[in-house]
Structure 1
Amino acid sequence: MLVRCLYASRPAAALQGAGLDLILAQSRKNNPALGITGLLCVSDDLFVQVIEGGRDEVCELFNAIVRDDRHQNVRLLTYEEISERRFGNWTMGHVSIAKLNPALLLKYFKRVELDPFDCSGAATMALLGELVATASILNRAE
């Protein structure tokens, strides 16, 4: 059974380029063996991540993220059983929140900022779906 999990968190410390590169490298190394795919959106003060895969693998990964001291205020936004993956092309795709089109943010959020803590999980998921549709996802950190 496939599931999709969307969560948001705050970095415990400011995330520098090397720190983000390490997170992405670990994900891209470990996720294929687990059948995990997904997308990570990141800024200096926000993580938004969607992970897809088998129920056990996704739950174990989410639990590890909750315990990871690089994250604080971890909030589950959506969790659902799915019939197919939406983010299957990425072992862990990456989006820089700072580079998002302001008009795209206003389409889903009340201000020109990605704030998953103050909107529905469906709105955040719709934004991520649109990023896939507009080819805004990077396979490696810039």
Structure 2
Amino acid sequence: MLVRLMYASRSTSPLDAEAMASILRQCKDNNPAQGITGLLCHCPASGIFMQALEGGRTAVNRVYLKIARDPRHTDVELLHYEEISERRFSGWSMGLVNMARLNPALLLKYSPKPELDPYAVSGQASLALFDELVATASVMTER
């Protein structure tokens, strides 16, 4: 059974480009063997992460629980969880949203302010935002 899980968290310390590259490498090394795909968004200004994970229920739940216990994250909050018949982010072991290409008007479409704040919107709005980011080629990293 496939599931999709979306969560938000805050980084406990600022992350530079090298730290983000390390996170992506780790995802690319670990996720394929677990059958996990997804999309990650990190806002350096606020330290907010938003991530969608897709895969088998057990594997996705394990990864989420590991993230929730990771001391580098705080305010971990489940935004959305559903059983799915197909993946939306199957092309990425973990895609990364290119925040430099993110149009503030797109954020304003889904939230009260033109900033990434998944804590202020519904899980459905966060998922719709991710769909638009994929459609507008705002995702970087090789597939």
TM range (shorter): over 0.9
CA distance in 2, matches of 1:70, 1:99: 26
Consecutive unaligned residues in structure 2, runs of 5 or more: none
Q: Is the 8 A contact 1:43 1:96 kept in 2?
A: no
CA distance in 2, matches of 1:61, 1:97: 24
Alignment root-mean-square deviation, CA:
1.0
Alignment match, 2:20: 20
Q: Is the 8 A contact 1:97 1:114 kept in 2?
A: no
* Percentage of identical aligned residues: 55
Alignment match, 2:131: 129
CA distance in 1, matches of 2:138, 2:119: 22
Consecutive unaligned residues in structure 1, runs of 5 or more: none
CA distance in 2, matches of 1:59, 1:92: 16
Summarize the Cα distance change of 1:127–1:80 in structure 2 as closer, same or farther, 3 Å threshold: same
Alignment match, 1:50: 52
CA distance in 2, matches of 1:79, 1:56: 13
CA distance in 1, matches of 2:91, 2:32: 11
CA distance in 2, matches of 1:57, 1:11: 23
Q: TM-score, normalised by structure 2?
A: 0.94
Q: Is the 8 A contact 1:36 1:53 kept in 2?
A: yes
2:109 is aligned, of 107, 110, 123, to: 107
Counterparts of 1:1-142 in structure 2, within 5 Å, are: 1-44=1-44, 45-139=47-141
| SS at structure 2 position matched to 1:32 | helix
CA distance in 1, matches of 2:60, 2:106: 28
- How far is 1:98 from its partner? 4.7
| SS at structure 2 position matched to 1:25 | helix
CA distance in 1, matches of 2:108, 2:15: 25
CA distance in 1, matches of 2:84, 2:50: 19
Q: TM-score, normalised by structure 1?
A: 0.95
Say how many residue pairs are matched: 140
| SS at structure 2 position matched to 1:89 | coil
